């Protein structure tokens, strides 16, 4: 499958230098409460899902699923290796879902343009953290088949290429290349998820590295996530654990 244009998560074209005025305009478009927090923010933190009809539909399928497999599914059984009801899925493959992490490539452009290791490090961290909220979904993507590929082109010409390189265990590889060679983001990951009572714990494991035109490189891994309220209560997704960023050449 191939798409010709893949828009970034920002109102600015992917890879272009976003201005302070554009950032301010984008924030003004967000709906916030009296406390200044996004309405999608749960009281104790995390992303709050508010589509009651969608949650009701998913819970009906989840209850049926739990009854079929019995109590073993509530004790940490790996969800990647079992067949789930189709109502729990979104209409995308995991390879396409991966691209949600990279919705703000303009920060990699800024990092590439900077000769200061600290400023470059800060922009890479901003790129990685900014994409996390774009991954807040309560539906599961479909598992890719072995050899499946996904390709996309950002508006500035940045090329995205993903491929499923292993089926058992499931492993995906990716490469994001700037059209003028300013940076190349590469990595691979495996995905694991398991039921923990009324919650699902998920983890995308594997390094992501961005190498710049001057030889500099920054590496990091994603934290794990919890999806609470699978069967009852408020449905909230939150990231936990830590994200460790490394620039070994500059001892950062």
How many beta carbons lie within 10 A of that of residue 24, not counting itself? 9
* Mean local confidence (pLDDT), 186-201: 87
Asked whether the beta carbons of 188 and 165 are under 8 A apart, the reply is yes
Predicted local distance difference test score (pLDDT) of residue 187: 97
* Mean local confidence (pLDDT), 144-157: 91
Cβ neighbors of 117 (< 8 A, separation 6 or more) are 216, 247, 250, 252
Q: How far apart are CA 15 and CA 103, in angstroms?
A: 10
Q: What confidence category does residue 31 fall into, taking pLDDT thresholds of 50, 70 and 90? A: low
Predicted local distance difference test score (pLDDT) of residue 71: 59
Among 132, 133, 111, 100, CA closest to 209: 111
Residue 190, pLDDT > 50, answer yes
What is the number of residues in the chain?
A: 252
Whole-model pTM? 0.80
Asked whether the beta carbons of 109 and 61 are under 8 A apart, the reply is no
> Tokens 């969608």, residue?
54
Task: Tell me the average pLDDT of the chain.
Answer: 83
More confidently predicted of 114 and 195: 114
Alpha helices in the chain (DSSP H): 20-28, 52-69, 94-98, 106-113, 117-130
- Mapped onto helix, strand or coil, the DSSP state of residue 114 is coil
Predicted local distance difference test score (pLDDT) of residue 62: 86
Asked whether the beta carbons of 178 and 108 are under 8 A apart, the reply is yes
Strand duo 149-153 + 171-177: pairing: unpaired
- Percent of the chain past pLDDT 70, that is, above it, reads 78
Q: How far apart are CA 174 and CA 160, in angstroms?
A: 7
């Amino acid at each position: 499958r191939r798409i010709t244009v893949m828009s970034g998560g920002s109102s600015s074209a992917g890879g272009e230098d976003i201005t302070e005025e554009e950032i301010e305009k984008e924030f003004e478009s967000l709906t916030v409460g009296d406390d200044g927090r996004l309405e999608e923010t749960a009281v104790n933190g995390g992303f709050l899902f508010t589509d009651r009809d969608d949650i009701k539909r998913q819970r009906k399928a989840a209850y049926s699923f739990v009854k079929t497999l019995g109590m073993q599914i509530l004790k940490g059984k790996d969800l990647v290796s079992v067949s789930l009801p189709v109502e729990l899925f979104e209409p995308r493959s995991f390879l396409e879902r991966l691209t949600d992490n990279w919705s703000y490539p303009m920060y990699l452009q800024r990092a590439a343009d900077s000769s200061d290791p600290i400023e470059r490090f800060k922009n890479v961290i901003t790129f990685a953290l900014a994409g996390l909220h774009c991954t807040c979904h309560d539906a599961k993507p479909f598992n890719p088949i072995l050899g499946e590929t996904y390709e996309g082109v950002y508006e500035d010409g940045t090329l995205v290429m993903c491929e499923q390189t292993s089926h058992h265990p499931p492993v995906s590889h990716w490469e994001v290349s700037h059209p003028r060679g300013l940076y190349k983001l590469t990595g691979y990951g495996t995905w694991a998820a398991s039921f923990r009572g009324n919650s699902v714990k998920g983890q995308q494991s594997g390094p992501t590295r961005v190498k710049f035109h001057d030889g500099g490189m920054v590496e990091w891994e994603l934290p794990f996530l919890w999806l609470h309220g699978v069967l009852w209560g408020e449905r909230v997704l939150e990231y936990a654990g830590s994200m460790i960023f490394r620039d070994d050449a500059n001892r950062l």
